[in-house]
Amino acid sequence: MTSETTGVIKPRVRLGDRVFSTGTVFAGSLILVVLAAVAIFLVVQSVPALVAKPGTLPNAAPNFWTYVWPLVFGTVWAAAIALLISIPISIGVALFISHYAPRRLAQGLGYIIDLLAAVPSVVFGLWGVLVLAKTIQPFFVWLNANLGWIPLFGGVVSGTGKTVLTVAIVLAVMVLPIMTAVCREVFLQTPRLHEEAALALGATRWEMIRTAVLPFGRPGIISASMLGLGRALGETLAVAMVLSPAVVINFFLLTSQNPNTIASNIALQFPEASGLGINTLIASGLVLFVITFIVNAIARFAINRRKAFSGAN
């Protein structure tokens, strides 16, 4: 046989192999096509809004950027407050599950927190507006009366509790499970030898966590925060139901004049929009897409860097 002389055995190409591998390549490429389609269709539909003449856009905005700027501010503002609330809590919960709770309970407690992730956002919205907003409104009044000299708590306090702070609390609850899950995974990966070394040197449990667990988990905490931020930025219905929106930019947390978010604005305006209004909303959706893309990219970067540089294992 010729293969014996050349030393190379040519593999037989089977039809089944061909069909199957082509099928998988096709499916993989389809994902690329879909993503490209998302970008292209959104851009195509946004162009009319981007080049619109003054006076034709909603809210009497002179151009698209003046229209979208308060929304961008509101989106980032609400998500930032939500993150401020949820970062310490999620780190605490993750530490509780990974290092404090009895081993036998830990997994069950993890499931309970994961249950929060299973609740659809519209239910969070309903709960936020019908339960949380009403419950927390007296507290807002108190905050406004006693701490109103701080600009954040100033202004005329809302009578319904449908403020940006309530929204931020709901968003914080919604992003808590994903952030806790990521933090927990990273904390559990802390090398046991580091922990035991710290304890052997006489560290208390908290000192062990501060010197061994938290430094090791810092990239994980960063990426968890970014993932949470990405979720909070894109959240729609909970914000649309809870917030009482206005076209403003302000830093007041407790008034009924709140900057709206991009996603919530789309959800509220789209059913009644027509013509250029639809293009404007799609263009603002494109802006949201770009913002979340950047945030998620930072998250991936933080995770991947840890994999590369971690000298622990």
Partner 1 sequence: MAVSVARPMTNSLTTGRLPRGSVWMILLGSWVLLGIVFLFVQMAGGTKQYNLVGALFLGTVLFDILVFAIAYLVEGGRQARDRLATSLIATAFIIALLPLVSLVYTVLLNGFARMIQPSFFSQSMRNVLDAGGGAVHAIVGTLEITGLATLFSVPIGLLTSIYLVEYGKGPLARTITFMVDVMTGIPSIVAGLFAYAFFVLVTGNVGYRSGLGGAVALSVLMIPVVVRSSEEMLKLVPNELREASYALGVPKWLTILKIVLPTSIAGITTGIMLAIARVIGETAPLLIITGFTASMNYNLFDSRMMTLPYFVYAQYANQGAHQSDFVNRAWAGALTLILIVMLLNLIARAVAKIFSPKLGR
- Check residue 71 for interaction with partner 1 (CB under 8 A): no
Q: How far apart are CA 4 and CA 310, in angstroms?
A: 48
88 binds partner 1 (CB under 8 A): yes
Rounded Cα gap, residues 70 and 57, in angstroms: 15
270 binds partner 1 (CB under 8 A): yes
Size of the site for partner 1 (CB under 8 A): 88
Q: Which of 3, 5, 6, 24 binds partner 1 (CB under 8 A)?
A: 24
The answer to whether 301 contacts partner 1 (rule: CB under 8 A) is no
Q: Which is nearer to partner 1, 252 or 286 (CB)?
A: 286
> Which amino acid is present at 117?
A
Closest CA to 225 of 190, 156, 178: 178
**Rule CB under 8 A: is residue 29 a binding residue for partner 1?**
yes
What is the nearest approach in angstroms of partner 1 to the Cβ of residue 38?
4
Is residue 17 near partner 1 by the rule CB under 8 A? yes
Residues 174-203, interacting with partner 1 (CB under 8 A): 176, 180
Quote the CA–CA distance of 237 and 119 in Å, as a whole number: 13
**Residues 271-303, buried b or exposed e (16+ Cβ, 10 A)?**
eebeeebbbbbbbbbbbbeebbeebbebbeebb
Look-up of token digits 């802390």? 190
- CB of 51: closest distance to partner 1 in angstroms? 17
118 three-class SS: helix
Asked if 38 interacts with partner 1 (CB under 8 A), we say: yes
Stretch 120-159 residues interacting with partner 1 (CB under 8 A):
120-127, 129-132, 135
**Backbone conformation region of residue 23, classed left if phi is above 0, alpha if psi is from -120 to 50, else beta:** alpha
Shortest Cβ 290–partner 1 spacing (Å): 10
At 36, the amino acid letter reads A
Select the residue interacting with partner 1 from 44, 47, 145, 249 (CB under 8 A).
44
Q: Which of 3, 6, 274, 313 binds partner 1 (CB under 8 A)?
A: 274
Which of the residues 198 through 257 are near partner 1 (CB under 8 A)?
204-207, 209, 230, 233-237, 240-241
* Residues making up the chain, counted from first to last: 313
